[in-house]
Structure 1
């Protein structure tokens, strides 16, 4: 089959996260039709995760191309760029306070970013309650997207923006993410200024982290007076069930955590003992470095589907940059095939270079700091 002109192609984006929605927004700005399919039953079906720091040289660049940069700055939290490096007693070893005009990587809630992108798209662009099972069809196309409810849709181009365990990835690559050996346990704290004032004072307006070589805690201030804490340990991926517990056993998990962090001070332990609601288990996975595939004119990937890395502040930014470059390649190419070739020629080497730098990043989150040096210190976020 001859590769179609992008404006006449049937383009399906799988995944309504920052990458998928950014790609859809820029495509629509250039008059290219697109449909986004997402497994969520509706936009508010689940918590979208913590805060993101969008960088001027990738995430913000994509929003500027999408025509949404001014709206972003109205929603962003520049004060969220504050960073505190602590020891296990809560003593501050390093402290970055952002300048009044510092806008290199302001924070925005993942949910607020999603709402911003969704509101920029025409009604009906995103089809909710469409969980993908697989993608079939020959490399030359057309492709068929199979949904779990038994329905299908035919497409000239399928864009996998569906994250770590992408259902689109097997259409171009047999590789699956591997466990890094490091696990996060997420704890939530609501109404922190009133209900958790000690934690609010410890964390400040941005993020705070401490590590002793085997364990770490990372807290990040979110919008709406909310703090998320990531409890970071070197454990088996199934450590909760292997301990005879289950994800809903907050009391049992808390007791195990208190034993693991027994040498830490009470001010630091409040990060694992006073949380509102259950813990959320988040073992860290990553794709091999480099992750590449043979080019095909009918399927491509962006973001974590293409290059899942340890969560060191680059995931959402790279996904949005991928989305921007892919959309612009489609807008500026004669055929879809030409656009995919141009996009992957830039994206794959960039992803490989970044992934090599972060390859052991999960272990680095546990490294002990004995000085105030915080160069390269970044949050566990995607």
Structure 2
């Protein structure tokens, strides 16, 4: 039951960090949901690297979810250490966090955070192996959902948390995505034992090696591996171009061998993908019974805000739904207006940072960016 005896079925499409945070906070308010996820199980796919949770967004959402303590037990404050080098291996920036302090943006592996959220939900909340392919309005309001295997379900409120290629997004906007960069990722496992020189190079946190129009980055994960990424400007090259170590090493010819050793140490073939973004001014006219959170609502370049804003979306939407238990459409309108106002400057900033990081003068620009006085975080 949802609010004052009114039975409303809420479907969340997408079991990523945003969708699971929303389900958890609604559960805290006594509001049950069903989460439909395309993956067949929680362990089907590698969840990627680690992320830094910001106090004003990701950490705020976890506090509302009642999971702040569990987050601190899993997060790594030392993961905030950040080194920025030039192609010759010279240090441009080296940020060392205060030891054992969680006042900043501690790192946590995406897989660990996702498991933390999954474990906080009733076991039947997530329906695995449900890839949404179509939505149809019901005559009595609400939505019929059709999944890839022909399975059908219905709901009164549909919340799209289904990422960059959201199916639910088409119910609200036909906005087109723009190709902004290429990201090539790979892993180096058991780095302390197998590649101690690389472990020392990267340290306990993040490393960026910044050149003209390209970045070679690595981050330490909690399992002792490195997640390595190569970021390149958007080019009209087929993705297969980036699937070999040799091709990547050619792109970084002339860089210090200590840096390109990150590519040589890769376990398995590199995995390339296109990085896309939505226009920074995206908004839509509110429609009863449906809304979006996270990348489905505001896909941005991956410069540190995506997961944090998705989780804050979830917290704010859950708060509005709990405040208006018999009037979800008012809750949705209130959430969307505040989300648009919050996201637009963040999306614009993310686009500027992405362009700066892959510019011909990236090293100078990044040093200037990280050397400026820190802006105070918004009040929580």
Q: Secondary structure at the match of 1:278?
A: strand
1:266 aligns with 2:257: yes
Q: Contact 1:183–1:237 at 8 Å: present in 2 too?
A: no
Deviations 1:324-344 (A, max 9, x none): 000111000131111101111
Please tell me the root mean square deviation across aligned C-alpha atoms, in Å: 2.0
Deviations 1:61-90 (A, max 9, x none): 000000000000000010000000101122
Which one of 267, 285, 292 corresponds to residue 294 of structure 1?
A: 285
| Cα displacement (A) at 1:349 | 1.6
Which one of 356, 361, 364 corresponds to residue 364 of structure 1?
A: 356
Distance 2:122 2:6 in 1: 17
Structure 2 counterparts to residues 277-316 of structure 1, below 5 A: 277-316=268-307
| Cα displacement (A) at 1:138 | 6.1
| Cα displacement (A) at 1:229 | 1.1
Which sections of structure 1, spanning at least 5 residues, go unmatched?
248-252, 378-382
2:308 corresponds to which residue?
317
Structure 2 counterparts to residues 28-43 of structure 1, below 5 A: 28-43=27-42
1:250 corresponds to which residue?
none
2:342 corresponds to which residue?
350
**TM-score under structure 1 normalisation?**
0.91
Paired residues in the alignment total 366
Between 166-175 and 68-77, the greater mean CA deviation after superposition? 166-175
Over 3 Å counting, the alpha-carbon distance change for 1:60 and 1:138 in structure 2 is same
Q: Secondary structure at the match of 1:179?
A: strand
Structure 2 counterparts to residues 36-115 of structure 1, below 5 A: 36-100=35-99, 101-115=101-115
Identify the structure with bigger relative contact order (alpha carbons < 8 Å, sequence gap 6+).
1
| Cα displacement (A) at 1:4 | 8.9
Distance 1:9 1:160 in 2: 17
Q: Contact 1:7–1:33 at 8 Å: present in 2 too?
A: no
Q: Contact 1:94–1:374 at 8 Å: present in 2 too?
A: no
Distance 1:235 1:354 in 2: 21
Distance 2:157 2:363 in 1: 47
1:328 corresponds to which residue?
319
1:137 aligns with 2:129: no
1:337 aligns with 2:329: yes
Structure 2 counterparts to residues 155-304 of structure 1, below 5 A: 155-180=155-180, 182-236=181-235, 238-241=237-240, 243=241, 247=243, 253-304=244-295
| Cα displacement (A) at 1:297 | 1.6
Q: Contact 2:213–2:357 at 8 Å: present in 1 too?
A: no
Q: Secondary structure at the match of 2:220?
A: strand
Distance 1:137 1:372 in 2: 51
Q: Secondary structure at the match of 1:185?
A: strand
Over 3 Å counting, the alpha-carbon distance change for 1:176 and 1:138 in structure 2 is farther
Over 3 Å counting, the alpha-carbon distance change for 1:4 and 1:169 in structure 2 is farther
Which sections of structure 2, spanning at least 5 residues, go unmatched?
373-380
